[in-house]
Chain A
Amino acid sequence: MSGHSTYQPKTGIERWLDARLPIVRLGYDSFVDYPTPRNLNYWWTFGGILSLCLASQLITGIILVMHYTPSADHAFASVEHIMRDVNYGWLIRYMHANGASMFFIAVYVHMLRGLYYGSYKAPREVLWILGCVIYLLMMATAFMGYVLPWGQMSFHGAVVITNLFGALPIVGPSITTWLWGGFAVDNATLNRFFSLHYLLPFMIAGVVILHIWALHVVGQNNPTGVEPKSKADTLPFTPYATVKDGFAMSVFLILFATFVFYLPNALGHADNYVEANPLVTPAHIVPEWYFLPFYAILRAVPDKLMGVLAMFGAIACLFALPWLDTSKVRSMRYRPTAKLYFIIFVVACCILGLCGAKLPDDPVLGHFKTFTLGDADLNSFVWLSRFASLYYFAFFLVILPVLGLVEKTLPVPDSIASPALSHPAAAPEQATAAPEMKG
């Protein structure tokens, strides 16, 4: 896809710079002339939205650090100081806190897009794995950021997550002590989490550069999953994709602003407005919403080490995905059976999120008891999360590998241009399709 450069320096200054540091050429080839498939739909705008989220978190984060004190004695008060005394501190803090949620909304859409359209399949495996690395870094960063206000959720979340590593045999306790810098979560822990929460976003930015690089080597996937064959299949990134991404970002920012200005605490937990108390865990402790599905998987397993392994295994499945899906057809648009299982997968993930927010022994339907299976009543969230976890793993480890071998797929179009221009919906609008050919 990334063919030879078509950049033509026009002015004398451009020619002078191009012979010394061809940075304008790099920008031109990457973001102006870069060919994008002409049939991309709005699910393809979330990469741009994610870049916006990263930039927003970095800028608001650096500003917050100018006023925040990373000490167990002052952290909670310094966040309240930001809210009450710092000029527009409330705005910047709410932008940063809700920005994390927006970041995860966008990343989940981005990942499910990739899952549905087979964007992880050859030759995009490295692109996909780099994305998985970014996702892991995002979770680590979001976790450490949430610890900083030193509220009740901050503190006990830090205890639980660091103890996950304590479940490992032999080395576990040494790792948790090392992470804590002591024998419990305390000032030393808060202090280092602050340092790492500052560092990790720059590592994310570094991996994002690799992610975009890998994307530009293999080229973008598209809803048909058919690789571009001729110039008729693509359009230059600018202005077509730039404007479309810009429009999607504006719509996304409306959602973002709605939360920041009208519902700033809707996605957070009230208990984090209570200062950390190492002696009492709140009765209604719940992780941030974007961790709930993995939390539900952890809690579904009635064993410490196995629960931790299942939770990390749920993410490991993502890394292995390019080799688990055996189907030769890339896009699920032409895979009717896989599409069905994909929809169930999305529902299972939502159910896991719901289970994570409920107490394990609470009944799912009504208030009646059915019968006890193992350690809990069948009509309980712990059993629902077990079924959903089972489906989660079955989707990756059984359904996708088997479907590739047995599924009867639909005919795949020969090229991108043919369905994009002869699509029934596009047929009356051939007049609008024509000027695009000039690109």
Chain B
Amino acid sequence: MADTAEGATKGPGSDPSRRDFIYIAAITAAAGGAAALAWPFIDQMNPSADTLALASTEFDLTKVADGQQVTLKWRGKPLFVRNRTPAEIQKAVADDGAAMKDPQKDADRVKPGKAQWLVLIGSCTHLGCVPTFGGGDYGGWFCPCHGSHYDTSGRIRKGPAPLNLAVPEYEFLSDTKVKIG
């Protein structure tokens, strides 16, 4: 044993730089193996195949009376479909020029000619709670978790939330039916 060890360091075929290369190659291969093993253990926590099979949903707008809001569950989160009153629309449009964190015109948040229908993902852009309608300082939504206020267009006006309530992708299939997602 001792002889071999000595021979390995002092023998003619034992160039130290080549020995170093073997060490580096072995460590690199082991690190690569460890990373390849670690990835599945981490990635198993990402959404599974059945969770990724997300559907779109259709909704009949005749179910929503004037000034009413219906909350649907879509992709595990609440979706607000709000039938706005003319006063709410007016207020939202009047505030288009106000100082906002996330400036957006009311017209950009609804479909053309359908200002009455506001479709929003009902998840506060701060830390994800569901804002309640009617509680805030701006006639829109108030998030009870950390006190964010949204206006009648679902735009952030006060509090820690950084963005307006998100508008999902949706389209009108007919005058009374929307397809969300």
Contacts and interface: CB of A to CB of B under 8 A. Distances in A.
A182 B45 contact: no
Residue in B73, B125, B129 with the greatest tally of chain A CB atoms within 10 Å:
B129
B49 to A, nearest CB: 11
Interface in A151-180: 156, 159-164, 166-167, 177-180
B54 A183 contact: yes
Contacts of B135: 283
A303 B160 contact: yes
Interface in B114-172: 122, 125-132, 135, 143-147, 158-162
B48 interface: yes
A156 B95 CA distance: 31
Contacts of A167: 127
B128 A278 contact: no
A263 B46 CA distance: 41
13 contacts: A177-B46, A180-B47, A183-B75, A184-B77, A278-B130, A279-B73, A280-B71, A281-B129, A281-B143, A285-B145, A298-B146, A299-B146, A361-B147
A160 to B, nearest CB: 4
A282 B142 CA distance: 12
Nearest to A161: B127
Given A178-B45, A183-B77, A284-B144, A303 B128 contact: no
Contact of A160 (B73, B78, B128): B128
Contacts of B146: 298-299, 307, 360
A245 to B, nearest CB: 41
A188 B48 contact: yes
Contacts of A282: 144
Given A185-B76, A279-B78, A359-B147, 16 more contacts: A159-B127, A163-B126, A166-B127, A177-B47, A182-B47, A183-B47, A278-B73, A279-B122, A280-B71, A281-B130, A285-B145, A303-B160, A304-B161, A305-B162, A361-B147, A382-B147
Contacts of A285: 129, 144-145
A375 B159 CA distance: 8
Interface in B45-98: 45-48, 51, 54, 71, 73, 75-78
Interface residues of B, number: 33
B46 A159 contact: no
Contacts of A9: none
Contacts of B122: 279
B32 to A, nearest CB: 23
A167 B160 CA distance: 11
Interface string A274-290: 00001111111100000
Contacts of A179: 45
A181 B44 CA distance: 9
B137 to A, nearest CB: 8
Interface string A20-54: 00000000000000000000000000000000000
Interface string B13-54: 000000000000000000000000000001001111001001
Nearest to A298: B146
B135 to A, nearest CB: 8
Given A156-B145, A279-B71, A281-B144, A375 B51 contact: no
A278 B127 contact: no
A113 interface: no
A279 B130 contact: yes
Contacts of A161: 127
A336 interface: no
B47 A280 contact: no
Contact of A156 (B77, B129, B147): B129
Contacts of B144: 281-285
A32 B159 CA distance: 57
Residue in B48, B127, B130, B162 with the greatest tally of chain A CB atoms within 10 Å:
B127
A163 B125 CA distance: 9
Contacts of A185: 76
A182 B76 contact: yes
A186 interface: yes
Interface in A283-313: 283-285, 298-299, 301-305, 307
A163 B161 contact: no
